[in-house]
Chain A
Amino acid sequence: MKRLLGQQQLLSGPGTIPPAADDPAHLPKVSDVSCLPVLLRIPSATCRNPPFCSGLTGANMAAEGDVDLDLEAEENCTGKPAEKPRKHDSGAADLERVTDYAEEKEISSSDLETAMSVIGDRRSREQKAKQEREKELAKVTIKKEDVELIMSEMEISRAVAERSLREHMGNVVEALVALTN
C-alpha cells in the first residue's frame, strides 16, 4: 500500500487527495459515476476482449441494458457458444455458465440457507478469535528501535519484525532467539 500511496501523492501533489477518500460514509452518490452505474457488475460472456480486460466487459452489456437485466444477461450468456478460452482471461464466460441456473436455485434454496448459516456461524467465530488475538497483540507496547534492530539484523520486513516482537511481549532478545531458530 505504501508504495501505491506514494505514487499517488507524487502524482497528485499535496492536498489533492480528498481527505475522506477512505471513508465509506463520504462515498460519492452513484450519479457521480453516472456514466457507468453498473460497470463491471454484469459478468459477460464476450470473450473477445483482450486477455486482461475481462473486468470491463460488463460495461458493454451495461451500455445496452440496464441494471435490472443483470440476471437475464447472465442467462443469455450461457446460450452463446463459448469461445476459445484465452490465456489470462479470467474465463468469465465459462465460469458463469451455471447449469440450469433457475432450476438449481429453486431446489437448493433451503439447503443453501442452512449451509450458508453453518458457514456464517463458523466464520464469525473465526473472525472473533482472530480479532481477539490481534487485539491482544496490539496491546503490547513495542519500541521502535527494537523493531528496527530486528529488521536490520534479520533482514526481514517491518510487519514481520513487529509481529514477532509483539508475540514475545516486546522482549527483543526472545524475539531474536525465536527468529534465529
Chain B
Amino acid sequence: MPTITLPPKENALFKRILRCYEHKQYRNGLKFCKHILGNPKFAEHGETLAMKGLTLNCLGKKEEAYELVRRGLRNDLRSHVCWHVYGLLQRSDKKYDEAIKCYRNALKWDKDNLQILRDLSLLQIQMRDLEGYRETRYQLLQLRPAQRASWIGYAVAYHLLEDFEMAAKIVEEFRKTQQTSPDKVDYEYSELLLYQNQVLREAGLHKEALDHLNNYEKQICDKLAVEETRGELLLKLDRPEEASEVYSRLQERNPENWTYYQGLENALKPSSVEEQQKIYEDSWVKFPKGLVPRRLPLNFLTGDKFRECLDSYLRMNFSKGCPPVFTTLKSLYTDKAKVTIIEELVVGFETSLKSCRMFSENDDGKEEPPTTLLWVQYFLAQHFDFIGQPNLALEYINAAIDSTPTLIELFLIKAKIYKHAGNIKEAVRWMDEAQALDTADRFINSKCAKYMLKACLVKEAEEMCSKFTREGTSAVENLNEMQCMWFQTECALAYKAMNKFGEALKKCHEIERHFVEITDDQFDFHTYCMRKMTLRSYVDLLKLEDVLRQHPFYYKAARTAIQIYLALHDKPLTDDNKESQADTENLTDKELKKLRNKQRRAQKKAQLEEEKKNAEKEKQLKNQKKKKEDDDEEIGGPKEELIPDKLAKPENPLEEAVKFLIPLKNLVRNKIETHLLAFEIYFRKEKYLLMLQSVKRAVAIEPSNPWLHQCLVRFFKGVSESADLAEAVRTVLKQEISRLFGESNPQSFNKNYLSQHSNSIPHRLAAAKMMVYLEPSSDKMACEIATALDESLSGSSIQICTEVLEALRDGQLGDGQQKAAEAYRAACHKIYPYCLAFMPPGYQDNSTTISANGDLSAGEHDDMANEM
C-alpha cells in the first residue's frame, strides 16, 4: 500500500497531535486526528491512525487503541513512527518481547534513531538480552561518544556478560575524560571509582585493584568500603602483615563485626588452636564488653577450653539479660559434645542460682540479681525444646512464668514449645496470651496471627492483623497490597489444610504476582541508576532480580501451588464435590440454599466494587490528575481477577503446576525438593525424559532420599511398562538408567534399598509404600515395616510418624489398615503425648475458644493458672 504523504497544512496538524499527546491534552489531540482523518484523502494515513490509537490508550481505551495502531501500521509499514508507536503500546502493556520486536522494525527504517535505540536498550536489559543490549549500547556509543551514559551503559553491558577486563577498560577510558579536582567531594565520581574497582576485582586483577584504590582513595567518599576492600585485596595478594593492620583498624571501628575477626584470622594464619584463641584473647582485653570476640571462639574450641569460654560468654549474657543468647548458640547444636557441655553448665547455673544466687557455689563475689535466674530458665526451656524434650522445657518455662508472669518473651517460648510438641491449639492460646500483654507490639501481634493460621483459624488471624492494618479496607486486602507475603503463605497453607484449594491457590497466585511486580519495578532503575552513577548497587540489583524467585517466599508459594495442582489432577473437583463441602455438610437444604445465596450476593458485591473501582480509575484518567503511582496500575491494565472457584477447576492443572515449577528448576537447583516436585508433575504427564532429568538431578544431591526412592521405583516401573516410546527416547532411557543405577528392576531395587536403610523410619516408610505400590498383596509386611517404632530406629519425628499414620489411613499401605492405624496412633501418642495428631479418637480439646481480641476472661485465666 502506498504511503500517504501529508501536505503542509495537514503536516502541521499532525505535529500538533504529537504536541497534544506530550502535554496530555488527549481530547485536543483527538480533535486534530479527526481533522486529518476526516479528509477522505487522508482517512487512512497510517501515522495519524497510530497516534490516535496511542492517545486513546492513554484514555484507557485499550482495545480501540490496539485496533487503530495496527490499522495505522498496516497502512504504513515503512514508517518508523508507526512501529515505534506500536512498540510503546506493547510496552505500556508490559509485553516487552513484542515491544522489542516493534522497536527493531522501527530501527529498520531509521537505524540511527537515538530515542528508539535507547528505548530498545532499556527493554533489552529488562529482558536480559545481554548480547543484544551490548549491540545497542555499542550503537549508542558510536552515535554519541561524548555522552557519559553511552560509556557507562556499554561498560555495564560487558560487565554483565562477565567480560570484566573489557568493562574495566571502558570505565577507565571514560574516567580519563572526567575532570575532577581532588579537593572537591564528588559523590558520583566516587561511586564510579568504586564501581571500577569492583570490576577490576571481579576481573581477578587484584594488584591493579589495590593500586587503583590507593591512587584514588582521597576521592572516594565511602571510607569503610575502601578499608574493607583493601583488607580483602591484601589478603588475596598474600600480604598478611598489612592486611592484619587493616583489620585491626576495622575492629576498632566496629568490634562487633565478625568478618573483621575472620579477616584477622586469615591474615595471621594461626597454626594451632592456641594461637587462634590468642587472637580473640587480645580482643577481650581491647574490647572488654565485646560479645562477638567471646562468641566466635566457641566455634572452634572443644572440651575444657570450650567450657571455660562458654562459661564467661554465658555469664555476661545472663547477667545482662540478653534474650537472644540461645539463638546465638543454636549453630553449635550440630556438635553433640558441645550440647552436653552447654546443658551441664547451664543446669549447674540454675541449681546454684536457686540456692545461693551465684553462678557457682564456689564463686565468691557479688550476688546476681533475681533476673539472672529468670534468663537462665528461659535459656533452658529453649534448650530442652530444641533437643526435643518438651516436658523439661515446659517445666523450666513454667517456673520462669511463675516468677515473672508479665514477661512476654516467656509466653512466646511456651507457645513455641507447644507448637514443636505438635499441639498448635495450645500454642495459639499461649501466643494469644503473650499478645494480650502488649497489644501495641506488632511483632507479637504478627506472631500470634501466624500461629492462628497454622491452627487454621483464618478469620481470627485476619482480625488479629486488622489491629495494625489501615482502617477502611479489609485486613486481607491491605496485606495483599503491602505484599505481606508471610501472611499470604500461611493463609495458603491453612486453606490447603482445610481442603479449600481455590482459596489457597488464590493466595499462591497473589504471591506470584508480587514477584512479577518486583521484576517490573526494576524497569525504573535502568535509567535512574545510570544517571545517579550508583552502578555498584545497580549491578547488584540486576543480579538479585535474576535470582529473585529463589526467595523462600516464592519457593513456599510455588510448592504449595504445585502440590495443590497435583492433587487436583489426581482428583479433580466436581460440582457437588465442592471445596466448601467441608463447611456445608452439616447444613440442611434450606440453610445450604441460604448460604449459596449469600455467597452469590457476596460475589456480586465484589464484582460491583471492582467495577466501581474501574470506573473511578477511568475518571481519574479523565481528570488527568492521577498520581504517579497509579500510572503503573493503569499501564499494566487491570489484572485478571483471581476467583477461587475458577482457580480450583483449572483446565489443565499440570500445565499450571509447570508454570510455578520453571523458576524453581532454573534457580533452586540445589534443593532436592525442586526436582522431586518436577518428577511428580512429569510422572503424571508421562514425560519420561523429563522424569529422567529430575531424578538425575535429585540423585546428585541426595541419592538415598526417601521421596526420591519412591520416584525411582515408579520411574523404573513406568519405563518397563510403557510400550509406545520413540526409539531415541528408549535408547536414552536405557543408556542412562544402566549408567546411573545398574539395574532397573523395581522389585529388587526396592528390596536393596530397604536392606540398606533398614534402621531409619523415613526410609522404611518409603520402601513400604513402594512394596504395596508394586505388589498390593504385600500390605501386611509393608505395614509392619512402616509402623516399627523401636528405639534403635533413627529418624523418628512427629512429622514422619504423622506421615505413616496418614499412609495407613489413606490406603497407601494397603486397604483396611484401620486397626493398624489405631494401634500405631496409640503407640505414637505414648512417644509424643502433646501432639494433637495422635490424640485418642473423640479427644476434645478442652480449651475454650480463642478470642481474637486477646482478652481471656478471668475464668479461663484461672484454668490456665491451674494447669501451670
| Genuine A/B complex | yes
The interface of chain A, by Cβ under 8 A from chain B, is: 1, 3-4, 7-8, 11-12, 16-18, 21-22, 24, 27-28, 31-36, 39-43, 46, 48-60, 62-63, 85-92, 94-96, 98-101, 104-105, 107-108, 111-112, 115-116, 118-119, 122-123, 146, 149, 153-155, 172-173, 176-177, 179-181
CB of B666 closer than 8 Å to a CB of A:
no
Smallest CB-CB A-B distances: 7 pairs? A91-B527, A115-B173, A108-B177, A63-B15, A49-B22, A180-B693, A59-B18
A-B contact count (CB 8 A): 233
In the bound complex, CA of A60 to CA of B58 (Å): 18
CB of B551 closer than 8 Å to a CB of A:
no
Q: Which of B21, B110, B631 contacts A40 (CB 8 A)?
A: B110
Instruction: List the A side residues contacting B74 at CB < 8 Å.
Output: 8, 11-12, 16
Contact A111 B729 (CB under 8 A): no
CB of B564 closer than 8 Å to a CB of A:
no
CB of B193 closer than 8 Å to a CB of A:
no
Contact B80 A48 (CB under 8 A): no
Contact B22 A112 (CB under 8 A): no
Report B551 CB to chain A, min CB distance, Å.
24
CB of B506 closer than 8 Å to a CB of A:
no
Contact A108 B527 (CB under 8 A): no
23 contacts between A and B (CB under 8 A): A1-B101, A11-B71, A16-B74, A24-B108, A28-B78, A33-B3, A33-B47, A35-B11, A35-B14, A36-B47, A43-B118, A55-B88, A56-B115, A57-B22, A60-B15, A63-B19, A85-B528, A95-B147, A95-B527, A153-B729, A154-B693, A173-B735, A180-B736
Report A129 CB to chain B, min CB distance, Å.
13
Given A50-B58, A51-B631, A101-B146, verify A92-B118 contact (CB < 8 Å).
yes
Given A12-B74, A90-B527, A104-B146, verify A180-B692 contact (CB < 8 Å).
yes
Instruction: List the A side residues contacting B736 at CB < 8 Å.
Output: 177, 180
Contact A40 B732 (CB under 8 A): no
Instruction: List the A side residues contacting B1 at CB < 8 Å.
Output: 16, 18
In the bound complex, CA of A118 to CA of B158 (Å): 14
In the bound complex, CA of A22 to CA of B177 (Å): 40
For the side of the interface on B, what is the size category? 35 or more
Contact A18 B78 (CB under 8 A): yes
Q: Which of B23, B71, B88, B732 contacts A48 (CB 8 A)?
A: B23
Instruction: List the A side residues contacting B732 at CB < 8 Å.
Output: 173, 176-177, 180
Contact B79 A55 (CB under 8 A): no
- Taking chain B's interface residues, is the majority helix, strand, or loop, or is none over half, making it mixed? helix
Q: Which of B3, B110, B170 contacts A119 (CB 8 A)?
A: B170
CB of B690 closer than 8 Å to a CB of A:
yes
In the bound complex, CA of A145 to CA of B81 (Å): 41
The interface of chain B, by Cβ under 8 A from chain A, is: 1, 3, 5-6, 11, 14-15, 18-19, 21-24, 47, 54, 58, 70-71, 73-74, 77-81, 84-85, 87-88, 91-92, 98, 101-102, 108-110, 112-116, 118-119, 122, 138, 141-142, 145-149, 154, 166, 169-170, 173, 176-177, 179, 523-524, 527-528, 530-531, 628-629, 631-632, 635, 658, 687-690, 692-693, 696, 726, 728-729, 731-732, 735-736
Contact A177 B24 (CB under 8 A): no
Report A120 CB to chain B, min CB distance, Å.
9
Report A178 CB to chain B, min CB distance, Å.
10
Report A5 CB to chain B, min CB distance, Å.
9
* Further contacts, 6 of them, CB under 8 A, given A21-B77, A56-B88: A3-B98, A41-B113, A56-B21, A58-B115, A98-B147, A154-B690
Contact A60 B108 (CB under 8 A): no
Q: Which of B23, B85, B116, B145 contacts A116 (CB 8 A)?
A: B145
Contact A46 B531 (CB under 8 A): no
Instruction: Name the CB-closest residue of B to A180.
Output: B693
Instruction: Name the CB-closest residue of A to B91.
Output: A52
In the bound complex, CA of A173 to CA of B734 (Å): 11
Contact B531 A91 (CB under 8 A): yes
Instruction: List the B side residues contacting A181 at CB < 8 Å.
Output: 693, 696
In the bound complex, CA of A105 to CA of B77 (Å): 38
Contact B22 A35 (CB under 8 A): no
In the bound complex, CA of A1 to CA of B735 (Å): 38
Q: Which of A12, A21, A39, A48 contacts B81 (CB 8 A)?
A: A39
Given A52-B635, A181-B696, verify A108-B530 contact (CB < 8 Å).
no
Contact A36 B81 (CB under 8 A): yes
Instruction: List the A side residues contacting B80 at CB < 8 Å.
Output: 33, 39-40
Given A3-B98, A95-B531, verify A88-B631 contact (CB < 8 Å).
yes
In the bound complex, CA of A33 to CA of B72 (Å): 14
